Amino acid sequence: MERKIRRTITDATKVKVVIQALREAEPLSSIASKYEIHVNQIRTWKRQFLENAEKSFSGDKSNKKEIERLNMEKEALQRCLGEKAMEVDYLKKNLKKLNLL
């Protein structure tokens, strides 16, 4: 038995299909046959599109907060790394003075 290869559909194509479905100018069955996609898949994409539509206008505030938090963490780690580098330099200098290095 031959295995069917799954077809990948680009996001741009999905958007086209969903917009056509939202216009309701033609039935879902004709859109489905045109793109060779099952009607239930179009319904799923349409539902997902409508559920996430408000995010396109509101902007993702949680991502901004996460980026800000990560930047603050990065700065703290860089500061810590700088302090450790200074400590290592100080210890090397003193070990050379004591002829231990």
Q: 17-71, pLDDT tens digit by residue?
A: 999 999 999 999 999 999 999 999 999 999 999 998 887 777 667 778 888 999 9
Non-local (6+) Cβ contacts of 31 within 8 A are 17, 20, 21, 37, 42
The number of folded domains in the chain is 2
Query: Which of 32, 37, 28, 33 lies closest to 9, judged by CA?
Result: 37
Judge whether 83 lies within some domain. yes
- Indicate whether 68 belongs to any domain: yes
Reported as half-sphere exposure (CB side, CA atoms, 13 A), residue 41 has a value of 13
Statement to judge: residues 16 and 42 lie in one domain: yes
Residue 71 forms part of a structural domain:
yes
* Residue range(s) defining the domain that contains residue 43: 8-59
pTM of the model: 0.56
